[in-house]
Every structure is written in structure tokens, then in C-alpha cells.
Structure 1
Amino acid sequence: MRALPLSELRVVEIGSGDALAYCGKLFADFGAEVIKVEPPGGDPDRQIAPLVDAGGRRESATFAWLNTNKYSILGDLDQPDDTARIERLLADSDLLLDARHPTAIEASPLSHRRLREVQPGLAITSLSWFGEHGPYRDYLATDSVCRSLAGLVKLVGPAEGPPVLPRDGQIAVIAGLTAFIPTLAGLYARADQGARRFAVNAFEAMLQITEFDIALALEAGSTRPRIGLNRFGRGFPVGNYATKDGWLGVTVVTPAQWLGFCAMIGLPELGPDPRYSATADRFIHADELNSIIRPVLMHKTALEWFERGIELRLPLALVPDMAQLLAQPVMRERGAFAKVEIGASSFDAPVLPQRLTKSPCKPNGRAPRAGEHNDAELSPRRRTAERAVRPNEALPLSGIRIVDLTMGWAGPSAVRQLGDLGADIIKVESCQYPDWFRGTDPRGPYHPERTYEKTYWFQTMNRNKRGITLDLTTDDGRAVLKRLLAGADAVIDNYAADVLPRLGLDVAAMQAINPRLVVVTMPAFGITGRWSAARAYGSTLEQASGLPSVTGRDGDPPTMLHAALGDPVGGLNAAAALMLGLMHQKRTGEGQHIDLSQVECMLPMLASSIIEQSATGHTSPRIGNRHPRFVPSGCFPCAGDDQWVTLAVQTDAQWKALCRVMHRPDFAADPSLATADGRRADEDRIEIAVRHWTSSVRPELAMVTLQEAGIAAGVARLPIDLVGDPHLLKTGHWQPVVRRFMGAHLLPSVSYREDFADLPYPIERLAPTLGQHNDEVLRELGLSDAEIEGLHDRGVIGNVATTKKSGGVRLAAE
């Protein structure tokens, strides 16, 4: 059996939490020996519903999925003997993943500073809510509190409020992937550079979702308002629509898509109507257009509309519930789900979406019971790294070259992750088809004022890259690209599945040029299967995953999260896939194709709901902003216009503290409210009391007061508020830069710190202007000045956007 990419690694997990567990799952399912250290009695997350029979006791099915293919030992870190045993285990390990609170780590015999001294070859990654520095460091948090502070709540929901809080579990995937990428990059270079330590925090990890809305707000000078369920962004129609059978997800952005959509629904006269032809005008007339569109969509099923949309190259999606999702033939044929076993129980759950064709991951598998491997004999081994990385060492991916054939958000953000870690990223656009994040409407000032150089969000997604232009519809352009591929380590594209094959640049052709090339493709449903030609945006991916069906209140339509969630999720998964491919390449010298489905990348975000459906035969009703374990929990109004604070009472002691904050001794003395079950029976009355108190307090003061009382709470911030967030300012998240055409502006940083640094890596390169590095890169490929000039004269390269060609192959990225 072929060795998996991470089979040479031994990893130890200390602490609890689903972000830690998901990061560890990525290591374990790709072959690493992962040893989970649990407290006596087992990790408390083993008791989070849904529960299944684990052989004598009921345990969490979601916990089992997060911990497939791991070992479990018990250890009390307050006991010297157990601490010494774990330290001996670390002496034979490559990596420590640690989710203890920063203060607990600092006070422990297994502190990271001490481990760096006595075991310098041990790589370490810590995961926490807010990092090791800054005003929020010691704040208590839940998924909803963290999302609120990260600007991912306030814009979602009915206009009158409250904002919508999604289900738990999504931060685990974002933070787990965010930790996995730099950690694996450090391990990639460990033999030459030594072991690295990273500190990753979930708050900044979630800003990778918010950053597009922050850029929109900075460009506009304000944030768009919350205007209702499934009404968001600046486009229209965007949302979920009822059909004759099922829900249809629609995302129309470009003028061509609007014309195509109108033709599809049998109303072509709407397309050129001057009241609706511009995106902004459709947004203004949304209610009027919905009254026309909704009745028409009821004439066919969602599947009929979706399949017609594939033919017309429109970004549409089925919006399934969990039962429909698990039964979809496309998902089953691609192996998107596989069995998880724990004790006597088994159920289906999402498989990791990084589909490496030569070294695929284990498709889920067996999860350990607490302490199952206490007495197991682990094979002796010696780790590769013998020292810690030296100060001022090159970044871990220095010397790696990646060809970036992506556009928009998902692909560019994926490659940016590796550029942040030192890889040489060559971004390839063309003058005829620039990255569509430079602008989707080439009318008006696009060409004369070069507005394609001025969009804020393009700068965010394309830092730390070099940029060239090549017209790949020409023989000359393809010839240059082939020379670039011949010397590259990896290439990634997020074009629709049929685009590069029609140019003679399919996966086989690229690997024929360079057999060691890691090739990542990332269409919506992957490069294989009956839906491989489907077009998608981030919203389409969210719709197709089924996530809207478990978000919001029971009785509401499937509810979108208003943040194009699929793009950053796809980007993080693609970056992880690239790193796994590079690890395999380093060990074997082989390249391979990684067939990433961006819809499958979304499935871990709703794993708990998928697992519940598979394990129990049903999915729990949507409960709005309430929480299945924490009572009370929700988003409550504060003093001021549209001001909100999110809070969660996680323990009975916190309930007493909340009663003191609200000046309600009668609630504190009521024995029927002393437990979560008792409070749940009277949740309406409790929420009225909470609203009465929060409505009298401004949101910042409410958050600080609750946190000082030991209660998880956070302001529901707007994206633009984050530019002035005190924690982000203190920890250096925003880096001021100056770029041609843009002037002075702010760029976000990576969501981790290396070693014990207060600040993130500095941004080394700003996003390239169109064709900025043509001469530099082409000379590196050996082209002469005359050859470069000839390419420019023939329009193969350039630095100014030109009118698109008529006919030929359209380089559509989405």
C-alpha cells in the first residue's frame, strides 16, 4: 500500500476543542501517527450530541468523526508522573498541537518556552480563540461570540433583527485548516531549517471570510445595511428560491449572466430592460423583480432549473436538506461520504475533500475510545529536525514556485497562503481576461480610468505574488506557459472544468511537461462527475452544500450567511491540498493531480448535521439563535440604533454571574433555573430579562461587563468596524501600504504568529498591477529582449486591459 503524505510524522494533541481535533484529523487521515492526550474520564467533547452507542456508553458522533485514525491516551497534566510520561512521548514526536489556554501553557511544566529549550527539534502549534497577545487574549468565547466579533453575524437576518447566529462547528474547520497550513509548511522544511513554532487564533482565522466585505466597505466608505434573509451583496438575484420541487440557489453577477438567466426563465425581454440591466439597478428593484421571478420558478423543479443552468453556464445550485445531500448520486459517486466507527456504532460522515489521486487520505475510519491506547507500545523513532529554526531564517516555502492560474477569491486566496509562507507565486492573467476580481463590468471607466487596478478586494487576495499576462488562446501564450510549468513545483487553476482542456492544457498535458508537477484543479463539483461543468461563486457553493437548510429559524426559507462563504473555505482547503501534494512530492519526487471539489470543501462545515442525519435518521429542527447546550444564548439588542451583543451562558456558575450583572437576584434564587435544562423550559422569560438589561447598555460596555463577570460575550461588529478593532490594532493585523493606482491603504495579515512574536509576518509584495512582472519573469525563463518585445507587439503580453476577443475559448474562472 502506497505511503500517505504524512506517514513519516508523529503528532501529539494536548487540550480540547473541535478546531484542535480537526487540525489533528487532517494529519491523522493523511497518515500521521496522531496521539490524543485526554484528561482522566475522557475529553468532555465526547458528550456533545448527537450521541451514539460507543460500547457501554453513549458518545458524540461528531467527536468520533473529528478523531478518526488517532490514538488516545489519558494523562493528567497536573500530575508530575503523567507530565513526565507525555514529555517522553514528545521526545519521539515531530509536532505538538496544543489547544490549552495561553496562560495555562505558560504556567505548565510543558510550557512551550521550556520545550523549545529542551526539545528544540519539536515543532509546536498552539490554537486559541484570540492568540497570545492583545486585549481579547483572556476573553471567553463560543463560536457565535467569535463570529460576532469577526463581523460575520450583524449583516445576516431580517432587517429588524436580530442578526442570525449559525450553528457551531464551522470555526473548527476554518481555524483547523488555518493552523494546518503553516504547520505543514514548517514541517516541509524541517530537515534543512529546523523546527518552528506557530501560534494560531480563531478570531483572525475567521477574518479570512470577512476580508472581502471589509474591502467592500473600505472602498465604499461604509458597510451595506442588513436588508433581509437571503438579501445581501450588491448583486441580484442572489438567494434561495422555491420551485415546483425543492429550493434553487441563484447567484447572478455579470451582465451576461443576467441575460442568460432571463432567457432561461422565458423572459428574455427583461435582460436588456434599462431598469434592470445594471447590477445596481436590479438590486434597487429587487422586490419588483422577485414578484416576477418567483412565480416563474415554480413551474419547474429545482433539478430541472439547475441542469438547464449548467447548459447555459449559469451559477445555480440545488439547495438540499441533509437527507437529500446524503442521497445525491454525484456525492456518492465521488466518495464524499464514508463510514466512521466508534464502539459498536457506524455512520456516514464527510471525507476530507483534499482528493490526492496518487496518495488519497483514509476515508474516515475508526475513532478510539478514551484511553484505549494507554498501554500500547509505540514504535521507537527519531524525528527529522534536530534544532529549532534560527532567527532570520528564510520562510519555510522559500524556493518553491507555484503557477497561479486562478481568478476571483477562492483560488487566489489559496495560493496567497503559500506566498505568505515564502513560495514564489507567479500569477498569470491576460490583458483580454484579467482576474475578474479586478471588476466584472468592463463598461464605463473600466478601461479609460483603469479601474481594474483600483479594486480593494483584488489587493487583499493577491499579496505576496508576482504577476504576468499571457494570452493563452494563442500558440505563443501557451508556449510560454509551458516553459513556466516546466520549472515549477505546482500549478493551480479554478477555471471551469472544461476551459484548460479545450486549450490543450489538461492535467495530463501539464504533467507530461513536468512529471513532478503538483496540479490542483478546483471546479465546483470537481473535475469528474455529471455536474463537473457547473459554474459557481462562493454563494453557490454554500447553497449546494446544504448549509442554508440548517441555518436560521424553523419555518424560514433556507438561510444564507451573506458572506460568500464557499470562496475562503475553498481557498483554505486548496492551500492545504497544495501542501499535502508538496509533501508527497518531496518524499517521492512524484507529481500528482489533486481533484478538489469546492462543494465538498463545504461539507465539513456542516458535518454535525450530516452525521446526525446519518446516525439517527433525522436532523434537529432549526432553533434560530438559541443553542443546544448553552442557556441563555443569543444575540440581544443594545442601546443605540441596530446595536447588538452576543452572549452565551455555558455553565450554571455563569448563570449566577449573569443574574448579578442583570440585577436579578430573584432569578438567581429560583431553583428551577439553576440548571440548563430548567432554564430551557423558561427560555422565553429569561430572554426577555436579558433584552431588558442589554437594551440599556451600549454594546462595548455590555461585552466588557459580561467578560469581567466570566461570561462569553462579544459585540456584533460590522465588517468596517474591524479596521478600528482594538485587539486587531494592538496585534498588528492591519498593515498600512502604498501601491500605484491605489495610494495608501490597509491590508490584512496572516492569522498566526511565528515563535513568540507579537506581530505577524510583514507583507513582502503588494498585489501586482496587470503584467507588472512580465519582463522579470520571462527573462528568468530565458527569453531574450527581442522575444519579449515580439510577444508584446503581438498582444500576447501587456500591462493594459484590452477588449475581450469575440469567439474562441472564454477563460471563465467561475
Structure 2
Amino acid sequence: MPRPPDAPLPFAHLRVLELGEGVALSYLGKLFADFGAEVLKLEPPGGDALRREPPLVESGEGAESALFGWLSTNKRSLTADLAGHAGLERARALLPGCDVLLDGRAPAAREGTRLGLDQPHLVAAEISWFGESGPYRDLAATDAVVRALAGVFACTGPAEGPPSLLGGIAGAVTGALAAFNAVAAALWSGAGRRLEISLHEANIAVAEYQAAQSVTNPEVERRYGVNRFAPSSPLGVYRCREGWLGVTIVTPAQFRAFCEMVGLPELAEDPRFVIGLDRLRHADALEALFAPRLAARSAEEWFAEAIRRRLPFAVVPEMAALLATPTHRARDAFGTVTLGAARFEGPTLPQRLTRTPPLPGGPAPRAGADDGRLPPPASRPRPTLKPAPLPLAGLRILDLSMGWAGPLCTRQLADLGAEVIKVEACQYPDWWRGVDPRPAFFAERRYEKDVRFGILNRNKAGITLDLATPEGKALLKRLVRDADAVVENYAREVLPKLGLDYAALSAERPGLVMLSMPAFGLEGPWRDARAYGSTLEHASGLPTVSGAPDWPPTTNQLAYGDPIGGLNGAAALLVALLHHRRTGEGQQIDLAQVECLFPLAAPWIVATSATGTPGPRLGNRHPTQAPHGAFPCAEQGWVVVATQDDAAWPALARTIGRPDLAGDPALATAEGRRAREAELEAALAAWTRPRAPEAAMQALQAAGVAAGAVLWPSALKRDPHLAARGFWQVVERPHLGRHEQPSAPFREAGRGPYPVQRPAPTLGQDNAAVLGGLLGLGAAELARLEAARIIGQEAVPVSERRARAPAG
């Protein structure tokens, strides 16, 4: 699906100023540049520090970073020393011609030197590790430290520890996506805004599942071992005759189909293996039975069988195989990057808009290449609108999605002020209300008591429609006529069978934007493959570069693909809506969720393309920071320590009472420390072991060393920094009572978080308000529809449902 050469670039009218350093800032700028914006990257003299990060390639003028090149495609480079008056003045002189300012300087560096305050048209985004306030504001941080403090690592790795730390840039990419959504929403509002984005708070989206589930299911907050996660099993990576297979089993029907697939149908009747948690408790015994069967065939053969049986499995590719995968090549998932004389490939932005796709790769600028030859910006009227309280006020979205990824996408938009109408069926409610078939589940309305559903569906209205009936379909089409967008994550064939695909809905609403979120894309040989968030991670190749060298490919999170897919979905929808606002054109977005994880794997993808190898698996070590890892603390706690640069090393050594190491010239560089890394890790562990994680973190931070306690997701609710920032908001909801909601990771600068306007809807709660108020149905008609179970406010028990395939 190569990009048509005449396809419009939706941001071609925008000029963006990117100043500061860091992967999150660079990826945020890339999201604008690859959609056509003129992004001016303001680098310090000598170039951005990322230019010196591995892997290095020969550019013709020395060795430069391939990762930097991928992050900087289609940008312009200017140089200015922002630590001095002249550099700041140069930045100020550029701002009248810019639409967006992306400011990645540390909060302390921005104090007294804020830019753009005199430009009311400007959308300014201030991005930092921990936000502009709170006790962590000025802490030293790295990607791993922030994710540790966000609850991302605690549940992953061997039961006895240490927690397994996924390396690379996952935290920065996650934060950049949240920042992009806030900036794009501000652009949609048509008014200048100043935004604050916390990368720490953005990464809490990855840990929300465990934080929510731990309220009623504390077993989710344990490390069960490599490739094991509550509440289900198997959920991991297994050796085959050739290659590795990612396996995720959740429902009883899936387990039965799996047992039949491997020739062990009797296991489905074994009382030890009936439900997911029981299978997890007996995982050793279960794996001993099925693992030899998987080893009898290749991963490719098992994957083909899984597609036929509709099981959520995937081949787990190494990076070279990922780059060569025909399905991904056909979708243009990788594009060529040029950095001087160097050419290599990196992931294309996954926001695959059918009418306005992003550029696949492109040139990265040499440092200062545009000094003295920057063309003036196009002259155009500037907005004079007064900002509404929420930037997406007036936008209406129909949400047909279920589970995690789709609802997180629409929650981001609802938090930003969009009117989101969630559509369920009484016969098949959102599966995060619960999938228990027993009668008591329905009689006691337990489907209204799941905190996960409550957290993902706040700020939305909720209606019910049975879309398998002609009347239900007709009512949905009437709602579409006044909607700006539709979001759906059904299996690929469902909406076409119902007569509700994009062609049908856009006939009702010309210019409609519709986001579809298939696992592997709407077309191609894998289009019918089923997937959970874990399946997507397996298929992305991330497990092959994470974990210790002697481990099997290692799953890093219960379901990385879901929150990352949701954040990318919101970004894609906003790009399409901004294009619609300028042109009136609608489009369908084919968001293959597996591609959303490729940017997280970008360091290894780029390294493989540029150098032929992704590099060794490092476990909890780091390619440029030494020592680095998770170190044991008192009461079975852990602290992540990252020696972020050579200057931090002597401070770390003195803090742990080893001045001899601080003064050793052989340890002055990361290369020297890596030669003795095991010795240094032992010295650091001896110091951390008797201390509480928070105490170790505070002592190291006082010395300027990046460190963060490894927090369990539930502990986030007691975190002093999040409390100081008002991150947890208490709301009341029928059946669920008082519960805590995590705030959005973006806010208007100088203000508190965007408020939670309303709790998640109960089933069909807004039928009268939406179907009566918007469509004008009278009370008698609503009563007739409810009697026919086309709408309703109670879930239909399984025993009373019509025989048909579920919608999702």
C-alpha cells in the first residue's frame, strides 16, 4: 500500500518550532514533520546530543546516530544556544511565523525564559519528565526511571526479581503520543493554548489495567515469572521447530480450541485448567504438556492454524525477519531514511490514513543545515478565537469500540471535550463489563462493577442498540448523520456483514472520518487474525530484544499493544479531523495496531537495517549508561538506577560509600565501567539492599543520579508527586461507588488537570437523552424498542440471547 505521490499532506500549512532535546520531543516533532509540517529543529552548537547515540552510521561527514536520523526525518535544522541571550532571541524571532511551539527544555530552564507568551495565536506545548509542579519536577530521569515510577515494570520478570526492564524508547514514544493528541486538539479548537505534558503521567496509561484490577483482584500485582501474567495463562512465547510462537489464551472457548489444536483435547476438561488464574497457578504442569507439541511444528505453521481457528497467536520475529515480512512490506510499514550518505530503514508512522497518509521515511537534516537560508512562512490570517474551556468542545464521536485500545482512544478525546457516545448492545456489552455467563452475574448486575470499564469510559454518554436488527442499524445511521467521526474495533468482517461499513456510513454522512483498528490491517493475508495487546507485542518483535540473553523471547507487559494502540488511534483520528476541517474531506483510517508498536522497537529496527544486527540482548543493562538496572531493596522492593552520563558516576559512587570507585580513572567513562559492570552492580546492590526503594531513590537523586522506585500499579494512588498534582480524581458512580480516576497527562499550563466531568455510563444510561433528545424519539417509541430488546438498560443473560455470532 505505497503512498500515492499526489496524496495531500494534512499539515503542509503548519510551521512548528522544536527546541530542546530528548527522544520524546524528537518523536513529537516527527509526528508533525512526516505529515507535512515544516518543523524547525533548533539544535545547540555541535548538534543535538541524540546525534551521538548508537547505532552510529557513516554520514559522509563523520559518524552520526541512525536513531536520530529516523526521529528527524523531514525536519529543518537551525542552531542556537538557548542557554544564552542570543539563542533565546533567535527562538523568539521565529515564533511569530510559527503555529506550534514544542518546548522540551527542563522546567528549571524555562523559568524566566518562557517563549511565545506574546503570541496569542500560538499552540505551545511544554514537555517534561514529571510536569511543571510537584516534588519530582526537577528529578534526574531517564526513560527507564520514569516507567519504573509509572508502575510499568513491577509485574514483569522472574518471580524472585529483578523486574525486567524493557530498554529503548518506549516511555518517550508513549509520552510523545499523549503530547501530540493535546497539541492536535488545540489546533482543532482554532485558538492559541499553552499546554503542559508529563511523560510520567502519560506512561501510567500502560499500568492502568493492573491499578484498576488490583482493587478487586490483587493477584494481578505479582510477578509470576518470565512470560507469565495474571489473570490468564498461557500468555507468553514458546519455542517451535522453527521460530517462536506468541500464545495468548483468555476465554474457555480459546483454551478448548488450543487443546484441540495441539492434540490434547482432554486438557480442556482437567479441573486444574478451567479458568485462567487456575491455569496460571499450574503453569509449570500445563506447559510441560503442551510445549513439546508446539516444538513439533514451525511457528509459521501454528500461526496459519491459529488464524483458521480464530486464536490470538503470532509468530515472534527477530528484527531482520520483521523488516522482511511481506505483510508489513505491502503496507509500506518501513520507509527509507537518509542521513547524509547513509541510507537505512525505520518504521513509518502507523497512523495510516487512506486519503492523507504520512511520508514513509525521508531525509534527516545535518546540524545547522538551514542556518541563513530559512524561507519566510506563508502569510495567512491568525486565529483570534477565545479558547473554549476544552479544546474539542463541539466535536461528536460515535464509539463502537470495546475493551481497552478503542475506549482509551475515545477517552483521550472525551477528556479533551469531545462528545463521545458509546454504543453497546444489551446482548453483547463491552467485554470489560465482564464475560461471566453465570445467571448471578446478570441478576446482581456485576457488569456494572468493573473498575476497568469505569476508568476507560469516563466522560462518555452510553446508549444501547442491537445492530443485528434493522431498527438498530437504522438508528445508528441516523446518529451518524450528525457525527464527525466513528471509532470501531470489531473483527474486520463484522461491520460489512451488518451493512455498516465505511461505504454505508459515509453515504449517510459525506465527509465522515472513521477509525478502524484491526490487528494487522484491513487487507492482506493476516486481516482475519485475532489479537490481544499481548499478541501485538509478540508480532512486533519486541520480545526478541528484551530480557536476559539466556531467556526465551520475553513479553514485556500484560498487553502493551492496547494502550499504545489507543494513543495512536486518537492521534490518527485528530489528523484526519484536522484535514476534514480544512477541506471537508472524510476518510477511513486503517490503523494496524501491530504497527503502532514498531516505533517502540525502532532502536533495534534501525540498528538492524543500518548495521545488520540489533545488537546483543542486554537484560536490564543499557548500551550507553553503566551501571544501569533494577537493584534489590528492603522488603522485596526494587529501585531502578541509571547512570545517565559520565558526570553522574562519581556522585553515585560517593553516595554508596565507595570513594575509591569514584576516583578510579579507569571508571571515568561508560566504556570503562562496562568492562567492570558486574563488580559495580554488586557494589550498588550491597548499598541498596538494606534501604527502602524510596529512600534509595531520594539519596541518589539528592546527588543528581537518575533513580526511581519500582512502584506496583496500586501504589501510584499513594505517590506523593501524583497527589501534589491532583492526578487522582475521586468520582461516584452507581453500582461502583466512589473510585479514583487517573487524570489525562496533559493540562493547560498553570492549571490543574482537566476535570472528570462524569463517570462512565451504566448500560444504556443515556438512551433517552440521545435517542430521544438527538433523534426525537418519543417515550412510547423508546418503550417499544426496549420491549423488543433493541435498546435497554440491563444486559441480556446468555441463556436468553438469540443464537448468533457476537459483534466483536
TM bracket, shorter-chain basis: over 0.9
Aligned-partner residue type, residue 372 of structure 2 = D
Q: Give the Å deviation of 1:444.
A: 5.4
Following TM superposition, by how much is the alpha carbon of 1:379 offset from its aligned partner in structure 2, in angstroms?
A: 2.9
Alignment partner for residue 51 of structure 2, among 46, 51, 55? 46
SS of the residue corresponding to residue 269 of structure 2 reads coil
Paired residue type of 2:481: A
The aligned amino acid for 1:772 is Q
Q: Does structure 1 conserve the Cα–Cα contact (< 8 Å) formed by 2:144 and 2:171?
A: no
1:129 aligned residue: 129
Q: Secondary structure at the match of 1:156?
A: coil
Q: 1:685 aligned to 2:679?
A: yes
Match of 2:757 among 764, 767, 779: 764
Specify the alignment match of 1:695 in structure 2.
689
- Cα deviation per residue 1:574-602 (whole Å; 9 max; x = unaligned)? 00011011001101111101000000111
Shift in Å at residue 219 of structure 1? Answer: 2.2
CA distance in 1, matches of 2:503, 2:806: 21
C-alpha deviations, 1:753-775, integer Å up to 9, x for none? 21211x20110121010011011
Of 231, 235, 247 in structure 2, the residue corresponding to residue 234 of structure 1 is 231
Instruction: Map 1:366-445 onto structure 2 (within 5 A).
Output: 366-382=363-379, 384-387=381-384, 389-390=386-387, 393-443=388-438, 445=440
Q: Give the aligned residue type for 1:483.
A: R
State the shift of 1:241 in Å.
1.0
Partner residue of 2:620 out of 622, 625, 640: 625
Residues 1:161 and 2:175 are matched in the alignment: no
Q: Secondary structure at the match of 1:457?
A: helix
Correspondence for 1:16: 21
**1:187-219 per-position Cα deviation (integer Å, ceiling 9, x unaligned):** 1112xxx20111101100000111111001122
Aligned counterpart for 1:738 among listed residues 727, 732, 754: 732
How far 1:388 sits from its partner (Å)?
A: 7.8
The superposition leaves residues 309-342 of structure 1 with CA deviations (integer Å, 9 ceiling, x where unpaired) of 1111111111111011111110011111110111
Aligned residue in 2 for 1:546 = 541
Whether the 8 Å contact between 2:439 and 2:797 is mirrored in structure 1 is no
Superposed CA offset, 1:257-279 (max 9, x none): 11211122222222233332222
2:536 & 2:776 partners in 1: Cα distance? 41
Q: Does 1:324 align with 2:321?
A: yes
Change (3 A) 1:389 1:219: farther
Q: What is aligned with 2:561?
A: 566
SS at match of 1:204: helix
CA contact (8 A) 1:772 1:799 kept: yes
Deviation at 1:718, TM superposition (A): 0.7
Equivalent residues in 2 for 1:608-619 (5 A)? 608-619=603-614
Equivalents in 2 of 1:147, 1:77: separation in Å?
A: 28
Q: Does 1:260 align with 2:260?
A: no
> Are residue 803 (structure 1) and residue 800 (structure 2) matched?
no
What SS class does the counterpart of residue 619 from structure 2 fall into? coil
Asked if 2 retains the 8 angstrom alpha-carbon contact of 1:196 and 1:389, the reply is no
- C-alpha offsets along residues 11-67 of structure 1, whole Å, 9 cap, x if unaligned? 000100010011111101111111000000110110000111222111111111111
Match of 1:793 in 2: 787
Instruction: Kindly provide the CA deviation profile for residues 515-534 of structure 1, in whole angstroms up to 9, marking residues without a partner as x.
Output: 21101101100111110111
Using the alignment, how far apart are the partners of 2:495 and 2:223 within structure 1? 39
Shift of 1:381: 2.9
Write out aligned runs for 1:226-625 (5 A): 226-382=223-379, 384-387=381-384, 389-390=386-387, 393-443=388-438, 445-625=440-620
1:208 aligns with 2:168: no
Post-superposition CA distance 1:777-804 (Å, at most 9, x none): 1011122222222211111001111134
Q: In the alignment, is the contact (CA less than 8 A) between 2:25 and 2:104 conserved in 1?
A: yes
SS in 1 for 2:651: helix
CA 1:148–1:523: 2 relative to 1, 3 Å = same
Tell me the SS of whatever aligns to 1:219: coil
Change (3 A) 1:529 1:455: same
2:220, 2:231 within 8 Å by CA — same for their partners in 1? no
Q: Deviations over 1:582-628 (max 9, x none)?
A: 00110111110100000011100110100111111112110111111
- CA drift at 1:394: 3.3
Instruction: Return the letter of the residue paired with 1:771.
Output: G
Task: State whether residues 152 and 563 of structure 1, in contact with CA within 8 Å, keep that contact through their aligned partners in structure 2.
Answer: no
CA distance in 1, matches of 2:405, 2:119: 38
Q: Mean Cα displacement is larger for which, 212-221 or 133-142?
A: 212-221
Aligned to 2:143: 143
**1:405-429 CA deviation, whole Å, 9 max, x = no partner?**
1000000000111111111101000
Distance 2:485 2:306 in 1: 32
Instruction: Give the letter for the 1:775 counterpart.
Output: A
How far apart are residue 672 of structure 1 and its match? 1.3
Normalised to the residue count of structure 1, the TM-score between the two structures is: 0.97
For 1:778, the equivalent position in structure 2 comes to: 771
In 2 relative to 1, CA 366–308 (structure 1 residues): closer, same or farther, beyond 3 Å?
Answer: same
Q: Is the 8 A contact 2:41 2:76 kept in 1?
A: yes
Q: 1:295 to 1:222 in 2, by over 3 A?
A: closer
2:749 corresponds in structure 1 to 755
Deviation per CA, 1:144-200: give whole Å up to 9, x if none: 11111111112211112111111121112101110000101101112xxx2011110
Q: How many residues align?
A: 800
Question: For residues 181 and 382 of structure 1, what CA distance do their matches in structure 2 show?
Answer: 26
Report the Cα offset of residue 630 of structure 1: 0.9
Matched, 1:668 2:668: no
Aligned to 1:179: 179
Given residue 202 of structure 2, which amino acid in structure 1 is its aligned partner?
A
Alignment partner of 1:710 is 2:676: no
Deviation at residue 389 of structure 1 after TM alignment? 4.5
- Asked whether the 8 Å contact 1:94–1:384 carries over to 2, the reply is no
Query: 1:655: Cα distance to partner?
Result: 1.2
State the AA in 1 paired with 2:548.
Answer: R
- Partner-residue secondary structure (3-state), 2:458: coil
Q: Is the 8 A contact 1:93 1:383 kept in 2?
A: no
Q: Distance in 2 between matches of 1:182 and 1:445?
A: 42
> 2:15 touches 2:377 (CA, 8 Å); kept in 1?
no
State the Cα distance separating 1:382 from its structure 2 match: 4.0
Asked whether the equivalents of residues 408 and 567 of structure 2 are also in contact (C-alpha less than 8 Å), the reply is yes
Structure-2 change in CA distance of 1:142 and 1:624 (3 Å): same
**After the TM superposition, which segments of 4 or more aligned residues of structure 1 sit over 6 Å from their partners?**
none
Structure 1 spans left out of the alignment, 5+ residues: none
Q: Aligned partners of 1:79, 1:200: CA distance in 2, in Å?
A: 25
SS at match of 1:652: coil
Q: Deviations over 1:131-154 (max 9, x none)?
A: 000010010011111111111112
Q: Which residue of 1 aligns with 2:3?
A: none
Contact 1:490/1:519, CA 8 A, preserved across alignment? yes
Helix, strand or coil at the partner of 2:589? strand
Structure 2: which 5+ runs fail to align? 1-5
Contact 2:60–2:340 at 8 Å: present in 1 too?
yes
- AA matched with 1:186: A
Deviation at 1:284, TM superposition (A): 2.0
1:97 is paired with a residue whose SS is strand
Identity %: 51
The change in CA–CA distance for 1:274 and 1:479 in structure 2 (over 3 A counts) is same
Q: Is the 8 A contact 2:621 2:628 kept in 1?
A: yes
**Which residue of 85, 103, 109 corresponds with 1:80?**
85
**Could you tell me whether the CA contact under 8 Å between 1:92 and 1:383 is conserved in 2?**
no
